[in-house]
Amino acid sequence: MISVAYAAEAAHDAAHHAGPFYTEAAFWVGVAFFVVVGLAFRPVVRALGAGLDARAAKIKARLDEAARLREEAQEMLATYQRKQRDAMKEAEEIIAHAKAEAERLAAQAAKDLEASLKRREVQAMDRIAQAEAAALREVQNVAVEVAVSAARQVLASSISADQAAKLVDGAIAELPQKLH
């Protein structure tokens, strides 16, 4: 009986379904379902797209900020490297200048020392010459005194009083000529 009833129902359905597919209610229910899902899906897709676009914009902004910061860091690095090179160059120039100045001062000190030694040598030679001249004058003075003393003794013993008086008178007469 079940099979007979089933067969009858199948025959009834087959007769009932003989028309075009768009006339059946199941077709329109399916179409309505897809329309509703499509209409509901559109705002969801837009919302998801907007969310993804916003997230992409944030990520792009972060990447741009990171790129900007990287460029700034590279510029700062280049600046500090340039400053370091300049400082090193300046330090080398200062060292070179100091060495040149030290060499110049050493050469000047050597010249000054040589000049000082020459001056002292000249001064010593002058003192020696003065001492020699003073010693020579002293020896001459002593020799003159000895000669005068010896001459007095010789004259005193060999000249008479008359001759001595004549010599004194002659020396007095010559005195005005020798003073001028």
- Provide the pLDDT for residue 70: 96
The token duo for 108 is 């000047």
Domain-wise residue ranges, the chain: 2-179
Contact 66, 73 (CB under 8 A): no
Amino acid at 26: A
- Provide the pLDDT for residue 15: 52
What pTM did the predictor assign? 0.39
The token duo for 147 is 């000669």
Tell me, rounded to whole angstroms, the distance of Cα 176 from its chain centroid.
87
Nearest to 135 by CA among 124, 145, 127, 123: 127
Residue with tokens 């001249």: 133
Alpha-carbon torsion angle 9, 12, 18, 22, nearest 10: -70
Q: How much is the average pLDDT of 89-107?
A: 95
Nearest to 79 by CA among 91, 71, 67: 71
| Secondary structure letter of residue 24 according to DSSP | S
When mean pLDDT is compared across 5-14, 36-45, 135-144, 161-170, the lowest value belongs to 5-14
Digit-coded pLDDT (tens) for 49-58: 999 999 999 9
Digit-coded pLDDT (tens) for 59-68: 999 999 999 9
If one compares 156 and 96, the residue with the highest pLDDT of the two is 96
Q: How much is the average pLDDT of 127-144?
A: 89
Tell me, rounded to whole angstroms, the distance of Cα 98 from its chain centroid.
13
The whole-chain average pLDDT of the chain stands at: 86
pLDDT at position 83 over 90: yes
